[in-house]
Amino acid sequence: MTRPLLDVADPCLFNEGMPADWEQLAHHVIRRRIQLGYPTRQAFLTVTRLKARTLGDIETARKTGYHAATLNALEHDLQWAAGSIAAILDGGEPRIAASTPPAEQAARATDDDLPDDPILRLIGANLPEDRKKALVRQLLDEQQRFAQRRADELLREAYGHHQATPFGGGETPTGTGR
């Protein structure tokens, strides 16, 4: 059984009894994902080994503890140096991995260089931090609800073109007929 990198309880403590800043981690992950050219979580999922739920939890600071393998994979996929996540949680900044091409390191985006992403607009707004965090969470929740509704619509359309029901011929999901 693997042990989590951070064994935390509520309230989350990291290392020397200082509060871990999971919301700062979420901010840095979203920013770096966008810098790397993945404007949406879904786009980033095409190149990461993380599961959608895990990435969502990290980007919304919904959870406060992950296995070392998960955090290592995230650092790798974001092209951060080892230990960057621990540095963020300890109030510091991530470092770009040495293996990242120099041109990419030099092109670390400033706010003006980033795509017009609604989340980054909210993060950069001149509002109190707690209000910005609430707005970002609200936007992420709305994006998730929209994506779920759209997926349902697409599935209904797909099933409508191929068969009357998702299971065809009046079968139940177990195939028992009723």
Structure confidence at residue 132 (pLDDT): 83
Tens of pLDDT, residue by residue over 50-91, are 999 999 999 999 988 888 899 999 999 999 999 999 999 988
Q: How far apart are CA 126 and CA 10, in angstroms?
A: 30
Please list the ranges in the chain whose pLDDT falls under 50: 1, 3-18, 102-114, 165, 168-178
Total-model pTM: 0.50
What pLDDT is attached to residue 175?
47
Question: Do the beta carbons of residue 62 and residue 139 sit within 8 Å?
Answer: no
Predicted pLDDT at 6: 45
Supply 56's token pair. 């969502």
Q: How high is the pLDDT of residue 139?
A: 85
Q: How many CA atoms lie within 13 A of 142 on its CB side?
A: 8
Residue 60: count of CB within 10 angstroms of its CB:
19
